Amino acid sequence: MRNMKILLLQPGYYDFATGNLIKKRHKKGLCPTFVLPYLASLMPKNAEITLVDETIQDIDFTQQYDFVGISVKTPQAVRAYEIAHIFRNKNTPVVMGGYHVSLCPGEAQEQCDAIIIGEAEYVWKDFLADFAMGLIKKRYVSDTRFDMHSMPFPRYDLLDWNAYSVFYGTKVPLETSRGCVHRCSFCSTPEVYKQGVRYRPVNEVVEDIKRIKKDCNYIKKPLFVFIDDNITANPNRACELFEALIPLGIRWSGYFTSESGFNSKLVKLAARSGCFCAFVGLESINSQSLESAHKEFNTVKNFTDIVKNFRDNRIIMAVGIILGFLEDTPVTFYETTDFLIRNSVPIAVLSPLYPFPGTPIYNSFVQKGIFDNPCFWLTKHNPHSLFRHDNLLNEGYTLEGLFDDSLAKLMSVKAIFKRTWPMKEFFVPLFIHNLALRYFLRKYGVFAFV
């Protein structure tokens, strides 16, 4: 195969208020994408590859490429299809993959020359072989789940790390497992990876970290972010991983379950291995909402004990909350912010409920007939106004109004102080971090963390 010129990109997001693409000069303090450098590692060694994250970079449509690969998330779908249209009008083939393509293959197939359904590792070589012969198929379906052994090393050298570096370090994404043991109704992971979790051999994870520390001198002060959906899904395996990380002297963060917060041994090992931040998806303090989300295992009653366990081990706790379940009432919003402030949660990420296609919650909303537009992602949509919420409307409220009020209360200077002061040794960076979040939330809304 001759040397190819390939563009791999992640589309930008539209500001639903203005209709304009959100453009940032940098993503200081945020984690770069893992998908693009990993996909680049599956390409021919002699290929000329360009990676573009459209939220901080412009796409040069004047360049000629052999083909363009687009990784698509549902909120980006409308932009992804626009980009594909531009390149296809120039007779440049476009191949698409990602969660949204796996969830809506029929729709995506109409917008490009080929789609990858499922995991790319076992089918990408087939696409490249067909492309070389000029005989690409419309669909490449991965029927075999990748076992995660001998994963190629991501092409981190293709990323612009200056866009992500801050004084305290640079977040570096790594994957040690795929899938989740739970089937939360709002989550698309079980629909893409199916039930169960697969794990990378711990020694291979260790070797990747050693390689980054030794060879990737373009990454300043690496802070590793394990992008696993649930790094504590198997507590025994988690402990094995954490034990192996201790000699490396790294700092890292990852996604924990609330259940793991009660496991003192696991949390202590996480701290010893260098964990500085644990993201816990609490999702809701409304027991009815948790039940409808199939997340009854989250325990609000003993949440104080979880917070204390992480705090005592000097691990910053970040909590994810979803507002707007059909069981939520206006009181839920007020009680949620009070709960987060009262429990001194140092980092809290609020999100409006976003019903991804193909998930149980999306299918139930279709059956209930409460979507304004069941294919909302094909428009520049307002993520707060996707479906009818009778519990709020009947009392004269809107999801957007209540969400904004909750966010304003949670991110007030007084509330930030109350939430961050108990972690006195990290108070200054946490306080500054929250002030920065407040600024970006006001500027970019729900896309502040993109």
Using CA atoms, how far residue 116 sits from 44, 108, 145, 267, in Å, is 18, 10, 13, 38
Q: What share of the chain is helix, strand, coil (3-state, %, to 5)?
A: 40, 20, 40
Query: What phi and psi values does residue 49 have, to the nearest 5 degrees?
Result: -115, 135
- H or E stretch including 440? helix 427-444
pLDDT digits (tens, 9 = 90+) for 422-436: 999 999 999 999 999
Q: What pLDDT score was predicted for residue 135?
A: 94
- 87 with 175, same domain: the answer is no
- Number of Cβ within a 10 Å radius of residue 428: 10
- 35 with 77, same domain: the answer is yes
Tell me the β-bridge partners of 283: 321
Query: Is pLDDT above 80 for 390?
Result: yes
Q: State the average pLDDT over residues 365-391.
A: 96
Is residue 156 included in any domain, yes or no? no
Instruction: Assign residue 350 the CATH number of its domain.
Output: 3.20.20.70
Query: Is pLDDT above 60 for 357?
Result: yes
Query: Is pLDDT above 90 for 447?
Result: no
Per-residue b or e along 188-201, where b marks 16 or more CB atoms closer than 10 Å to that residue's CB: bbbbbbeeebebbe
- 308 with 356, same domain: the answer is yes
- 366 with 429, same domain: the answer is yes
Report the C-alpha gap between 393 and 427 in whole angstroms.
39
- 103 with 175, same domain: the answer is no
The mean of the pLDDT values for the chain is: 94
Taking the CA atoms of the chain, what radius of gyration do you get in angstroms?
22
Q: What pLDDT score was predicted for residue 296?
A: 81
- 238 with 357, same domain: the answer is yes
Percentage of residues in the chain with pLDDT exceeding 90?
A: 84
Q: Which of 196-205, 326-335, 348-357, 436-445 has the lowest mean pLDDT?
A: 436-445
Query: Is pLDDT above 70 for 23?
Result: yes
Is residue 23 included in any domain, yes or no? yes
- Domains held by the chain: number: 2
- 217 with 257, same domain: the answer is yes
Q: What pLDDT score was predicted for residue 183?
A: 87
- 268 with 211, same domain: the answer is yes
Range of the domain at 329: 165-447
Give the pLDDT band of residue 17 (cuts 50, 70, 90): confident
CA 150, distance to chain mean position in Å, is 24
- 175 with 70, same domain: the answer is no
Is residue 33 included in any domain, yes or no? yes
Is residue 370 included in any domain, yes or no? yes
Is residue 199 included in any domain, yes or no? yes
- 308 with 424, same domain: the answer is yes
Q: Which of 85-94, 142-151, 264-273, 376-385 has the lowest mean pLDDT?
A: 142-151
Q: What pLDDT score was predicted for residue 167?
A: 85
Query: Is pLDDT above 60 for 297?
Result: yes
- 223 with 360, same domain: the answer is yes
pLDDT digits (tens, 9 = 90+) for 187-213: 998 888 876 899 999 999 999 999 999
Report the C-alpha gap between 381 and 154 in whole angstroms.
33
Report the C-alpha gap between 201 and 176 in whole angstroms.
8
Instruction: Assign residue 63 the CATH number of its domain.
Output: 3.40.50.280
Q: What pLDDT score was predicted for residue 182?
A: 86
Supply the pTM of this predicted model: 0.95
Query: What phi and psi values does residue 5 have, to the nearest 5 degrees?
Result: -110, 115
Which DSSP letter does residue 172 get? E
Report the C-alpha gap between 392 and 379 in whole angstroms.
24
Is residue 147 included in any domain, yes or no? no
Q: State the average pLDDT over residues 20-38.
A: 92
Give the pLDDT band of residue 2 (cuts 50, 70, 90): low
Q: Which amino acid, 48? A: E
User: What angle do the packed helices 413-420 and 427-444 form, to 10 degrees?
Assistant: 140
Query: What phi and psi values does residue 358 have, to the nearest 5 degrees?
Result: 85, -10
Contact, 114 vs 136, CB < 8 A?
Answer: yes
pLDDT digits (tens, 9 = 90+) for 49-74: 999 999 999 999 999 999 999 999 99
Contact, 341 vs 418, CB < 8 A?
Answer: yes
Is residue 158 included in any domain, yes or no? no
Contact, 416 vs 408, CB < 8 A?
Answer: no
- Measured in Å, how far apart are the chain's first and last C-alpha atoms? 36
Three-state DSSP state, 50:
strand
- 305 with 250, same domain: the answer is yes
Q: State the average pLDDT over residues 399-403.
A: 96
Is residue 113 included in any domain, yes or no? yes
Q: What pLDDT score was predicted for residue 3?
A: 85
Report the C-alpha gap between 18 and 21 in whole angstroms.
9
What strands lie across the sheet with 275-283, from one edge to the other?
170-174, 222-226, 252-256, 275-283, 316-323, 347-352
